[in-house]
Structure 1
Amino acid sequence: MQIILLEDIVTLGFKDEIVDVKPGYARNYLIPQKLAVIATESAKKVLAENLRQRAHKLEQIKGEAEALGAKIAEVKDLVISVKTSNKGIVYGSVSNIQVAEALAAKGVEVDRKKILVKDNIKEIGEFVCQARLHRDVTVDIPFTVVSENFAEEIAAAKAKAEEEAKAYKEAEKARKAAQAAGEATEEATEEATEEAKAEEAPAEEAKAE
Protein backbone atom coordinates (compact mmCIF):
# COMPACT_ATOMS: atom_id res chain seq x y z
CA MET A 1 0.00 0.00 0.00
CA GLN A 2 1.38 3.44 -0.94
CA ILE A 3 1.27 6.30 1.53
CA ILE A 4 2.61 9.85 1.69
CA LEU A 5 4.58 10.57 4.85
CA LEU A 6 3.58 13.69 6.77
CA GLU A 7 6.54 13.43 9.16
CA ASP A 8 10.08 12.04 9.09
CA ILE A 9 10.09 8.42 10.22
CA VAL A 10 13.65 7.13 10.41
CA THR A 11 12.72 3.51 9.63
CA LEU A 12 10.55 4.46 6.63
CA GLY A 13 11.55 7.74 5.03
CA PHE A 14 11.15 11.49 5.14
CA LYS A 15 8.26 13.92 5.06
CA ASP A 16 6.53 14.11 1.63
CA GLU A 17 8.05 10.82 0.46
CA ILE A 18 5.80 8.18 -1.11
CA VAL A 19 6.57 4.76 0.39
CA ASP A 20 5.09 1.26 0.39
CA VAL A 21 3.93 -0.22 3.70
CA LYS A 22 1.67 -2.99 4.87
CA PRO A 23 -2.01 -1.92 4.85
CA GLY A 24 -2.49 -2.80 8.51
CA TYR A 25 0.47 -0.68 9.61
CA ALA A 26 -0.86 2.25 7.62
CA ARG A 27 -4.51 2.04 8.69
CA ASN A 28 -3.91 1.08 12.31
CA TYR A 29 -0.98 3.32 13.17
CA LEU A 30 0.41 5.76 10.61
CA ILE A 31 -2.84 7.31 9.38
CA PRO A 32 -4.59 7.54 12.79
CA GLN A 33 -1.42 9.14 14.25
CA LYS A 34 -1.47 11.69 11.39
CA LEU A 35 1.96 10.50 10.27
CA ALA A 36 0.80 9.66 6.76
CA VAL A 37 -2.08 9.75 4.27
CA ILE A 38 -3.04 7.32 1.55
CA ALA A 39 -1.24 8.13 -1.71
CA THR A 40 -4.31 8.58 -3.91
CA GLU A 41 -3.91 10.19 -7.34
CA SER A 42 -5.38 13.46 -6.07
CA ALA A 43 -3.08 13.39 -3.01
CA LYS A 44 -0.08 12.87 -5.30
CA LYS A 45 -1.09 15.86 -7.45
CA VAL A 46 -1.42 18.06 -4.35
CA LEU A 47 1.97 16.82 -3.13
CA ALA A 48 3.62 17.60 -6.48
CA GLU A 49 2.22 21.13 -6.46
CA ASN A 50 3.28 21.71 -2.86
CA LEU A 51 6.80 20.48 -3.64
CA ARG A 52 7.00 22.78 -6.68
CA GLN A 53 6.03 25.78 -4.57
CA ARG A 54 8.43 24.83 -1.79
CA ALA A 55 11.44 23.98 -3.99
CA HIS A 56 13.52 26.89 -2.67
CA LYS A 57 12.73 26.03 0.95
CA LEU A 58 13.60 22.39 0.32
CA GLU A 59 17.01 23.35 -1.05
CA GLN A 60 17.62 25.41 2.08
CA ILE A 61 16.65 22.46 4.27
CA LYS A 62 19.01 20.20 2.32
CA GLY A 63 21.83 22.73 2.73
CA GLU A 64 21.27 22.84 6.49
CA ALA A 65 21.33 19.02 6.60
CA GLU A 66 24.61 18.96 4.65
CA ALA A 67 26.15 21.51 7.02
CA LEU A 68 25.10 19.45 10.04
CA GLY A 69 26.44 16.31 8.36
CA ALA A 70 29.82 18.01 7.91
CA LYS A 71 29.90 18.86 11.62
CA ILE A 72 29.10 15.26 12.55
CA ALA A 73 31.85 13.99 10.24
CA GLU A 74 34.37 16.19 12.06
CA VAL A 75 33.60 14.62 15.46
CA LYS A 76 36.41 12.35 16.63
CA ASP A 77 36.69 9.88 19.51
CA LEU A 78 32.96 9.68 20.25
CA VAL A 79 32.72 7.62 23.43
CA ILE A 80 29.63 6.30 25.21
CA SER A 81 30.08 5.08 28.78
CA VAL A 82 27.63 2.43 29.97
CA LYS A 83 27.13 0.22 32.99
CA THR A 84 28.25 -3.34 32.38
CA SER A 85 28.70 -6.63 34.13
CA ASN A 86 32.17 -7.85 35.04
CA LYS A 87 32.19 -9.68 31.69
CA GLY A 88 31.58 -6.47 29.76
CA ILE A 89 27.91 -7.13 28.97
CA VAL A 90 25.88 -3.91 28.76
CA TYR A 91 22.92 -3.55 31.10
CA GLY A 92 20.13 -2.78 28.60
CA SER A 93 21.48 -1.62 25.23
CA VAL A 94 22.96 1.45 23.56
CA SER A 95 20.27 3.59 21.91
CA ASN A 96 19.98 6.65 19.69
CA ILE A 97 19.41 8.73 22.83
CA GLN A 98 22.90 7.98 24.15
CA VAL A 99 24.46 8.68 20.75
CA ALA A 100 22.65 12.04 20.57
CA GLU A 101 23.82 12.90 24.10
CA ALA A 102 27.42 12.00 23.24
CA LEU A 103 27.27 14.23 20.14
CA ALA A 104 25.76 17.06 22.19
CA ALA A 105 28.68 16.77 24.62
CA LYS A 106 30.93 17.39 21.61
CA GLY A 107 28.93 20.49 20.70
CA VAL A 108 26.86 18.94 17.87
CA GLU A 109 23.08 18.88 18.39
CA VAL A 110 21.24 16.16 16.44
CA ASP A 111 17.60 15.16 16.83
CA ARG A 112 17.74 11.65 18.28
CA LYS A 113 14.84 10.64 16.02
CA LYS A 114 17.15 11.07 13.03
CA ILE A 115 19.78 8.71 14.47
CA LEU A 116 19.42 5.07 13.48
CA VAL A 117 21.14 2.44 15.62
CA LYS A 118 20.50 -0.77 13.68
CA ASP A 119 22.29 -3.26 15.91
CA ASN A 120 21.15 -4.25 19.37
CA ILE A 121 24.39 -3.16 21.05
CA LYS A 122 24.89 -5.06 24.29
CA GLU A 123 28.67 -5.18 24.64
CA ILE A 124 31.64 -2.83 24.72
CA GLY A 125 33.54 -2.18 21.50
CA GLU A 126 33.53 -0.05 18.35
CA PHE A 127 30.34 0.46 16.35
CA VAL A 128 28.81 2.62 13.61
CA CYS A 129 25.29 4.05 13.41
CA GLN A 130 23.74 6.52 10.98
CA ALA A 131 22.27 10.00 11.09
CA ARG A 132 19.58 10.29 8.42
CA LEU A 133 19.40 14.07 8.19
CA HIS A 134 17.69 14.33 4.80
CA ARG A 135 16.58 12.02 2.03
CA ASP A 136 19.85 12.87 0.27
CA VAL A 137 22.06 13.29 3.35
CA THR A 138 23.07 10.29 5.45
CA VAL A 139 26.16 10.35 7.67
CA ASP A 140 27.93 7.47 9.44
CA ILE A 141 28.64 8.01 13.14
CA PRO A 142 31.47 5.82 14.47
CA PHE A 143 31.56 5.50 18.25
CA THR A 144 33.12 3.43 20.99
CA VAL A 145 31.20 1.87 23.85
CA VAL A 146 33.21 1.63 27.08
CA SER A 147 32.36 0.36 30.52
CA GLU A 148 31.78 2.91 33.28
CA ASN A 149 33.59 0.43 35.52
CA PHE A 150 36.81 1.27 33.72
CA ALA A 151 36.10 4.82 32.52
CA GLU A 152 38.25 6.40 35.24
CA GLU A 153 41.13 4.04 34.53
CA ILE A 154 40.92 4.80 30.81
CA ALA A 155 40.85 8.56 31.45
CA ALA A 156 43.82 8.29 33.82
CA ALA A 157 45.80 6.23 31.31
CA LYS A 158 45.06 8.74 28.56
CA ALA A 159 46.09 11.65 30.78
CA LYS A 160 49.31 9.85 31.72
CA ALA A 161 50.12 9.16 28.06
CA GLU A 162 49.54 12.81 27.16
CA GLU A 163 51.73 13.93 30.07
CA GLU A 164 54.55 11.58 29.05
CA ALA A 165 54.32 12.77 25.43
CA LYS A 166 54.53 16.40 26.61
CA ALA A 167 57.52 15.63 28.85
CA TYR A 168 59.28 13.85 25.97
CA LYS A 169 58.76 16.85 23.66
CA GLU A 170 60.15 19.22 26.30
CA ALA A 171 63.17 16.97 26.94
CA GLU A 172 63.84 16.69 23.20
CA LYS A 173 63.60 20.47 22.88
CA ALA A 174 66.07 20.96 25.76
CA ARG A 175 68.46 18.40 24.25
CA LYS A 176 68.46 20.16 20.88
CA ALA A 177 69.03 23.52 22.59
CA ALA A 178 71.99 22.11 24.57
CA GLN A 179 73.41 20.55 21.42
CA ALA A 180 73.14 23.84 19.57
CA ALA A 181 74.83 25.67 22.46
CA GLY A 182 77.65 23.10 22.53
CA GLU A 183 78.24 23.45 18.80
CA ALA A 184 78.32 27.24 19.15
CA THR A 185 80.89 26.99 21.99
CA GLU A 186 83.06 24.59 20.00
CA GLU A 187 82.96 26.91 17.00
CA ALA A 188 83.92 29.91 19.16
CA THR A 189 86.84 27.95 20.66
CA GLU A 190 88.14 27.02 17.22
CA GLU A 191 87.94 30.66 16.10
CA ALA A 192 89.83 31.81 19.19
CA THR A 193 92.55 29.21 18.58
CA GLU A 194 92.95 30.30 14.99
CA GLU A 195 93.21 33.97 16.06
CA ALA A 196 95.84 33.09 18.67
CA LYS A 197 97.88 31.22 16.09
CA ALA A 198 97.63 34.17 13.73
CA GLU A 199 98.96 36.54 16.45
CA GLU A 200 101.82 34.19 17.33
CA ALA A 201 103.02 33.82 13.75
CA PRO A 202 104.64 37.30 13.42
CA ALA A 203 106.44 36.83 16.78
CA GLU A 204 107.89 33.52 15.68
CA GLU A 205 109.06 35.07 12.43
CA ALA A 206 110.74 37.92 14.34
CA LYS A 207 112.64 35.48 16.54
CA ALA A 208 113.79 33.57 13.50
CA GLU A 209 115.31 36.78 12.05
Structure 2
Amino acid sequence: MAKIILTTEVTGLGAAGDVVEVKNGYARNYLFPRGFATPWTRGGEKQIESIKAARAAREVASLEDAQALAHKLTSATVTIPVKAGAEGRLFGTVRAEDVADAVEAAGLGSVDKRKVELNQHIKTTGVYQASVRLHEDVNANVEFEVVPA
Protein backbone atom coordinates (compact mmCIF):
# COMPACT_ATOMS: atom_id res chain seq x y z
CA MET A 1 0.00 0.00 0.00
CA ALA A 2 1.23 3.48 -0.90
CA LYS A 3 0.38 6.62 1.05
CA ILE A 4 -0.35 9.50 -1.36
CA ILE A 5 -1.63 13.08 -1.39
CA LEU A 6 -4.42 13.74 -3.90
CA THR A 7 -3.89 16.89 -5.97
CA THR A 8 -7.30 16.76 -7.66
CA GLU A 9 -10.62 15.17 -6.77
CA VAL A 10 -10.81 11.49 -7.71
CA THR A 11 -14.28 9.96 -7.68
CA GLY A 12 -14.57 7.24 -5.09
CA LEU A 13 -11.20 8.03 -3.54
CA GLY A 14 -11.20 11.55 -2.13
CA ALA A 15 -10.86 15.26 -2.67
CA ALA A 16 -7.82 17.41 -3.36
CA GLY A 17 -5.56 17.60 -0.32
CA ASP A 18 -6.66 14.28 1.19
CA VAL A 19 -4.04 11.77 2.28
CA VAL A 20 -5.13 8.24 1.31
CA GLU A 21 -3.64 4.79 0.99
CA VAL A 22 -3.96 2.97 -2.32
CA LYS A 23 -2.29 -0.03 -3.90
CA ASN A 24 1.16 0.63 -5.32
CA GLY A 25 0.21 -0.18 -8.92
CA TYR A 26 -2.83 2.10 -8.89
CA ALA A 27 -0.72 4.99 -7.66
CA ARG A 28 2.26 4.30 -9.92
CA ASN A 29 0.35 3.49 -13.12
CA TYR A 30 -2.74 5.69 -12.92
CA LEU A 31 -2.66 8.48 -10.32
CA PHE A 32 0.93 9.72 -10.66
CA PRO A 33 1.16 9.84 -14.50
CA ARG A 34 -2.12 11.75 -14.79
CA GLY A 35 -1.13 14.25 -12.09
CA PHE A 36 -3.97 13.22 -9.76
CA ALA A 37 -1.64 12.58 -6.82
CA THR A 38 1.86 12.95 -5.43
CA PRO A 39 3.73 10.63 -3.08
CA TRP A 40 3.29 11.38 0.60
CA THR A 41 6.39 12.73 2.30
CA ARG A 42 6.99 14.83 5.39
CA GLY A 43 7.80 17.74 3.08
CA GLY A 44 4.67 17.02 1.08
CA GLU A 45 2.55 17.64 4.17
CA LYS A 46 3.22 21.35 3.63
CA GLN A 47 1.54 21.13 0.21
CA ILE A 48 -1.72 19.93 1.73
CA GLU A 49 -2.66 23.34 3.11
CA SER A 50 -2.05 25.09 -0.24
CA ILE A 51 -4.02 22.40 -2.09
CA LYS A 52 -6.94 22.72 0.32
CA ALA A 53 -6.86 26.52 0.06
CA ALA A 54 -7.01 26.34 -3.74
CA ARG A 55 -9.89 23.85 -3.53
CA ALA A 56 -11.79 26.12 -1.14
CA ALA A 57 -11.38 29.06 -3.54
CA ARG A 58 -12.91 27.02 -6.40
CA GLU A 59 -15.83 25.61 -4.41
CA VAL A 60 -19.21 27.23 -4.14
CA ALA A 61 -19.08 29.45 -1.06
CA SER A 62 -21.86 27.98 1.06
CA LEU A 63 -24.38 25.19 1.22
CA GLU A 64 -27.25 27.61 0.51
CA ASP A 65 -25.53 28.94 -2.62
CA ALA A 66 -24.88 25.38 -3.80
CA GLN A 67 -28.52 24.41 -3.27
CA ALA A 68 -29.72 27.49 -5.17
CA LEU A 69 -27.37 26.73 -8.06
CA ALA A 70 -28.48 23.08 -8.03
CA HIS A 71 -32.12 24.17 -8.33
CA LYS A 72 -31.27 26.40 -11.32
CA LEU A 73 -29.30 23.61 -13.01
CA THR A 74 -31.97 20.93 -12.59
CA SER A 75 -34.78 23.17 -13.83
CA ALA A 76 -33.11 24.20 -17.10
CA THR A 77 -31.97 22.44 -20.26
CA VAL A 78 -28.65 23.58 -21.71
CA THR A 79 -27.87 23.46 -25.43
CA ILE A 80 -24.46 22.41 -26.71
CA PRO A 81 -23.87 23.08 -30.43
CA VAL A 82 -21.28 20.74 -31.96
CA LYS A 83 -20.09 19.78 -35.42
CA ALA A 84 -22.08 16.81 -36.61
CA GLY A 85 -22.33 14.84 -39.81
CA ALA A 86 -25.28 13.19 -41.44
CA GLU A 87 -27.51 11.11 -39.18
CA GLY A 88 -26.42 13.11 -36.11
CA ARG A 89 -23.00 11.53 -35.57
CA LEU A 90 -20.53 13.92 -33.96
CA PHE A 91 -17.03 14.73 -35.11
CA GLY A 92 -15.44 13.96 -31.75
CA THR A 93 -17.24 13.74 -28.41
CA VAL A 94 -18.82 16.00 -25.83
CA ARG A 95 -16.57 16.51 -22.79
CA ALA A 96 -17.16 17.75 -19.26
CA GLU A 97 -15.55 21.05 -20.26
CA ASP A 98 -18.17 21.51 -23.00
CA VAL A 99 -20.98 21.03 -20.47
CA ALA A 100 -19.40 23.50 -18.01
CA ASP A 101 -18.95 26.09 -20.77
CA ALA A 102 -22.55 25.64 -21.95
CA VAL A 103 -23.90 26.10 -18.42
CA GLU A 104 -21.94 29.33 -18.06
CA ALA A 105 -22.99 30.54 -21.53
CA ALA A 106 -26.64 29.92 -20.63
CA GLY A 107 -26.23 32.30 -17.68
CA LEU A 108 -26.93 29.65 -15.03
CA GLY A 109 -23.68 30.18 -13.14
CA SER A 110 -20.10 29.02 -13.10
CA VAL A 111 -19.37 25.30 -12.80
CA ASP A 112 -15.90 23.79 -12.45
CA LYS A 113 -15.28 21.31 -15.28
CA ARG A 114 -13.59 18.93 -12.82
CA LYS A 115 -16.88 18.63 -10.93
CA VAL A 116 -18.88 17.52 -14.01
CA GLU A 117 -19.30 13.78 -14.53
CA LEU A 118 -20.68 12.42 -17.79
CA ASN A 119 -22.35 9.03 -17.48
CA GLN A 120 -21.50 7.95 -21.02
CA HIS A 121 -19.49 8.82 -24.11
CA ILE A 122 -21.59 11.15 -26.22
CA LYS A 123 -21.12 10.55 -29.92
CA THR A 124 -24.56 11.49 -31.34
CA THR A 125 -26.97 14.38 -31.07
CA GLY A 126 -29.75 14.12 -28.52
CA VAL A 127 -30.68 14.86 -24.91
CA TYR A 128 -28.35 13.67 -22.13
CA GLN A 129 -27.71 14.20 -18.43
CA ALA A 130 -24.57 14.96 -16.46
CA SER A 131 -23.99 15.01 -12.72
CA VAL A 132 -22.36 18.06 -11.12
CA ARG A 133 -20.87 18.02 -7.60
CA LEU A 134 -21.42 21.54 -6.30
CA HIS A 135 -20.67 20.93 -2.63
CA GLU A 136 -19.90 17.98 -0.37
CA ASP A 137 -23.62 17.51 0.26
CA VAL A 138 -25.08 18.87 -2.99
CA ASN A 139 -25.18 17.15 -6.38
CA ALA A 140 -27.21 18.36 -9.34
CA ASN A 141 -28.24 16.66 -12.57
CA VAL A 142 -27.91 18.89 -15.61
CA GLU A 143 -29.95 18.06 -18.67
CA PHE A 144 -28.35 19.15 -21.91
CA GLU A 145 -29.18 18.80 -25.56
CA VAL A 146 -26.48 18.18 -28.15
CA VAL A 147 -27.47 19.86 -31.42
CA PRO A 148 -25.62 20.17 -34.74
CA ALA A 149 -23.89 23.51 -35.23
How high is the TM-score relative to the length of structure 1? 0.50
User: Is the 1:10–1:113 contact (alpha carbons within 8 Å) kept by the matching residues of 2?
Assistant: no
In the superposition, relative to structure 1, how do residues 82 and 12 fare at CA in structure 2: closer, same or farther (>3 Å)? farther
Distance 2:62 2:38 in 1: 21
Is 1:93 paired with 2:93?
Answer: yes
Distance 1:18 1:138 in 2: 23
In the superposition, relative to structure 1, how do residues 35 and 71 fare at CA in structure 2: closer, same or farther (>3 Å)? farther
The 5-angstrom pairing of residues 144-159 of structure 1 reads: 144-148=145-149
Aligned residues: 133
Higher RCO by CA contacts (8 Å cutoff, separation 6 or greater): 2
Distance 1:35 1:15 in 2: 9
Greater helix content: 1
In the superposition, relative to structure 1, how do residues 11 and 90 fare at CA in structure 2: closer, same or farther (>3 Å)? farther
In the superposition, relative to structure 1, how do residues 66 and 16 fare at CA in structure 2: closer, same or farther (>3 Å)? farther
SS at 2:85 equivalent = coil
SS at 2:77 equivalent = coil
How high is the TM-score relative to the length of structure 2? 0.67
- State, as a whole percentage, how many aligned pairs show the same letter: 35
In the superposition, relative to structure 1, how do residues 85 and 34 fare at CA in structure 2: closer, same or farther (>3 Å)? closer
Distance 2:92 2:36 in 1: 31
SS at 1:122 equivalent = coil
Q: CA deviation at 1:123?
A: 0.3
- Give the residue type in structure 2 aligned to 1:96: A
Larger radius of gyration: 1
Which consecutive unaligned segments of at least 5 residues does structure 2 have? Answer: 50-55
SS at 1:90 equivalent = coil
Greater strand content: 2
Q: CA deviation at 1:29?
A: 5.6
